[in-house]
Structure 1
């Protein structure tokens, strides 16, 4: 499947006409801005990006100017109150009005991209999904920005845009060289792994053709071709995994082995079974208003067994798979793992104070976390009480997803960097999405040169030193010869 950025129908062609309509290069100096609303399943974030006005479509210098977290749940949580979805964005949009200079408002592109939460809502109730999008569109059009649409991204879009963002920020596509020219580095790209609320994505460059065409995207960026493997697993995001584990506990009529000892909670059955991700575990007849009290047992082994039931490793129609019969080539190169990957590992390292640099260390850290009592956890991180009880389940899931699902091992696991940002910019799909729709990364680039790899630089420097030494030696010999002739 060939594409400049994405396979979805609204960006199958490179959008060169977008700038001609309302985002063409501005005259003069100063900064230009772009706004993206990342409407995730659990929350919405607004990002304001900036770049020099006279460098648009020519450089890799877009950076994050500011961000704002929208209060409340994601827009998909307003299925029964669509107008509320639009109202929820007002505070952050008002903040963007202040962050972007007033004279730039009318020429600042504004986008909203919705991800897995809205994909799930669109599966169960297309009408509700349309109403929510209509509500946010109505709100966004009331602001003086250049609003360019609210859309639901496909899982493939989300994965590829996240990969583009990570490599763009790390200057793997193009960078400003010390000689004052834009160069294309010869270093490889990094893979990107995103763990959101309702889905998880893995995307990385691969040399071989994918056995399943649905998992391959071909990109043309700055005159360089990239063959990228990508897959998005719906219902394998953090929040949906927790719901599926709750459904599994209720199905078995047991206490929750992933919750710490001393912790209990009342669970509303409607909240557990309303998602299509738990439909297979949903009882035929149940009272949606029933509440069940569950207690934690803090059992790492039983928790691991419960999480294992979320994966299917038994069948693979290809030469190799990750899980659920999905083709995946072997992981290779460096990776960046962000979103809930980062927060989970960060908790193990900073709160539990345990190293996580190998599969063995990750397993030990997960076991130690799951053995911790509720009282001890509260002592360690009182400010994280709302999410504290779920860290064991999340860490167990991350452990199995990375090692058994994606098949990282003792050799490849150390190549994963768990990061939230690259520099001052958050890693995620939002920046890559804006770069695509505003034509900020062209498929070809005439005004740059190829970078020279490290080995070549070493050889050139050594040759330069040798030339100097030879020249000095010749000068020394010439001087001695002249001195001898003078003496005669």
Structure 2
């Protein structure tokens, strides 16, 4: 026999009417008795009890009650270490009134002007580790070949790793390398940048805010004696005039491999692809930085477990630990392959071919000026250039002319020679100039590619609304630019800024052709591969400076006694 479940009857449904009447009568008597008892207690009870009853005191709990209704205290949540501008944390305590609106939290600042208190942070009230201050500032000076720049960073330590709140950026020209033989003038050129740091960093924190000056390829090319004099002068001036502490190697020429790796850290930190919070399977971005005197490539190659092929040992292999995770990177810095040095190499080669090719590439202008035909200048443009001393028979300044020979195809042939793709490759495979590089197609087939500095500076003015493009698009862009002014007007005639860029840079054809050759011929990225061009992410300048700034905070900082 199947078991049945007997359910209670709801009141008024399926119950005899007489039963309902009896219940109503019983409850009336109980209610009457309770009322009489209440009146009796009111009359004979003490005055204090009557007051508590009127105030609802019978429903409150004393401090000794085990079930308190007081709202619990909630510790501020530490923001994730990868976020440049993490969400506001929970308040320290919740409102006691259930109907009250939650407190309005201040917005995260993105500049000193929007920072409610430069000594504090809106993200938490105490640091994650008692050994760290709540907020820290770091000063990183980038002494590049074309100019000097300062990055003033504010970090908070609400989490296990420093989190960037905002950056202040300032720059000045020319760079330190322009002061060869004038070390004091070189050091004084940085005063305008350091004065900006004094304005941004609170006085109370200046003596514990580390500063570093990292010179790049421009100073490397100046020579050991001249560069050492400049760096010593900078170090002495900073120690004498400013309260910011310096480590032993704070003023130095940066190793090329560190330059690339720090740029990789900066980009992937801001893109949230590295850090303790990131899943281990996350693919990182390759970072390509193109400066004036050198260019860097850094990426994280992967090799199939079943394959015997591994990343070869050597200076190109960089083991990095960041956010508690280990990364094995490939990196290389090509000194002499920055965009300005590439220009010089192309002009030298064109002049050499003209000089020792029986003058086939020279002709005279209507004014009687000797011109050298240069296919890397846009048609109809000219450029007077100073060449390296290579034993020219008459002079080292030449006027190059695009005339009617300027074209992407012809320029690309010249740049192929400059790239030295056929150089001896001792450890295979090689990219260019005989440098080992694991195959992009095999070890980095689908990861994102972020290009910085001159990649952005040359492409963005002509494609201002584009941040992602195929490598083949750069070739198409170069073809239009190399074709000359008629082509410029056809494609950019309505864009005043683009036309000014093209008119002011006769070597735009050379620059774009070099960008394409570097990606396609040099690093061997496929034509259809997309790249991303950026100058800033989340309002923060891209490049190596932020990565180096984070490293600057890692370790002991000896505060000065100067204010």
* Whole-angstrom distance in 2 between the partners of 1:167 and 1:339: 16
1:261 aligned to 2:373? no
Deviation by residue 1:110-167 (Cα, 9 ceiling, x = unmatched): 1000111111123xxx111111111222232211212332011111111111111111
1:430 aligned to 2:534? no
* Whole-angstrom distance in 1 between the partners of 2:375 and 2:427: 35
Among 475, 480, 484, the alignment partner of 1:363 is 475
Residues 382-391 or 188-197, more deviating? 382-391
**Does the residue aligned with 1:107 lie in a helix, a strand or coil?**
coil
Cα distance change on mapping 1:263 and 1:354 into 2, 3 Å: farther
C-alpha contact 1:355 1:365 (8 A) present in aligned 2: no
In structure 1, what is the equivalent of residue 273 of structure 2? 172
C-alpha contact 1:63 1:425 (8 A) present in aligned 2: no
C-alpha contact 2:456 2:533 (8 A) present in aligned 1: yes
* Whole-angstrom distance in 1 between the partners of 2:479 and 2:132: 59
* Whole-angstrom distance in 2 between the partners of 1:310 and 1:347: 26
5+ residue gaps, structure 1: 1-23, 176-181, 274-281, 441-488
Cα distance change on mapping 1:41 and 1:164 into 2, 3 Å: same
1:157 aligned to 2:271? no
C-alpha contact 1:174 1:185 (8 A) present in aligned 2: no
In structure 1, what is the equivalent of residue 216 of structure 2? 115
**Does the residue aligned with 2:207 lie in a helix, a strand or coil?**
helix
Deviation by residue 1:88-129 (Cα, 9 ceiling, x = unmatched): 11111111111112222111111000111111123xxx1111
* Rg comparison, structure with higher value: 2
Q: CA deviation at 1:358?
A: 2.6
Question: TM-score, normalising length from structure 1?
Answer: 0.73
Q: CA deviation at 1:286?
A: 6.2
Superposition pairs of residues 57-206 of structure 1, within 5 angstroms: 58-70=160-172, 72-122=173-223, 126-141=224-239, 142-148=241-247, 149-174=250-275, 186-206=281-301
Deviation by residue 1:21-66 (Cα, 9 ceiling, x = unmatched): xxx977764x3210000111111110001112x437x235224420
Superposition pairs of residues 334-353 of structure 1, within 5 angstroms: 334-350=448-464
Cα distance change on mapping 1:212 and 1:321 into 2, 3 Å: farther
Which structure has more helix as a fraction of its residues? Answer: 1
C-alpha contact 2:275 2:324 (8 A) present in aligned 1: no
In structure 1, what is the equivalent of residue 143 of structure 2? 39
Cα distance change on mapping 1:109 and 1:320 into 2, 3 Å: same
Aligned residues: 389
Deviation by residue 1:355-380 (Cα, 9 ceiling, x = unmatched): 97334332222101111229858965
* Whole-angstrom distance in 2 between the partners of 1:355 and 1:66: 23
Superposition pairs of residues 19-38 of structure 1, within 5 angstroms: 29=134, 31-38=135-142
Deviation by residue 1:162-203 (Cα, 9 ceiling, x = unmatched): 11111111222237xxxxxx5656422111110001000000
Question: TM-score, normalising length from structure 2?
Answer: 0.64
C-alpha contact 1:355 1:362 (8 A) present in aligned 2: no
1:300 aligned to 2:416? no
Cα distance change on mapping 1:202 and 1:150 into 2, 3 Å: same
In structure 2, what is the equivalent of residue 397 of structure 1? 514
* Whole-angstrom distance in 1 between the partners of 2:382 and 2:351: 14
5+ residue gaps, structure 2: 1-128, 304-309, 355-371, 556-563
Cα distance change on mapping 1:386 and 1:158 into 2, 3 Å: farther
Cα distance change on mapping 1:94 and 1:356 into 2, 3 Å: closer
Cα distance change on mapping 1:97 and 1:224 into 2, 3 Å: same
C-alpha contact 1:216 1:227 (8 A) present in aligned 2: yes
Higher RCO (CA < 8 A, seq sep 6+) = 1
In structure 1, what is the equivalent of residue 523 of structure 2? 406
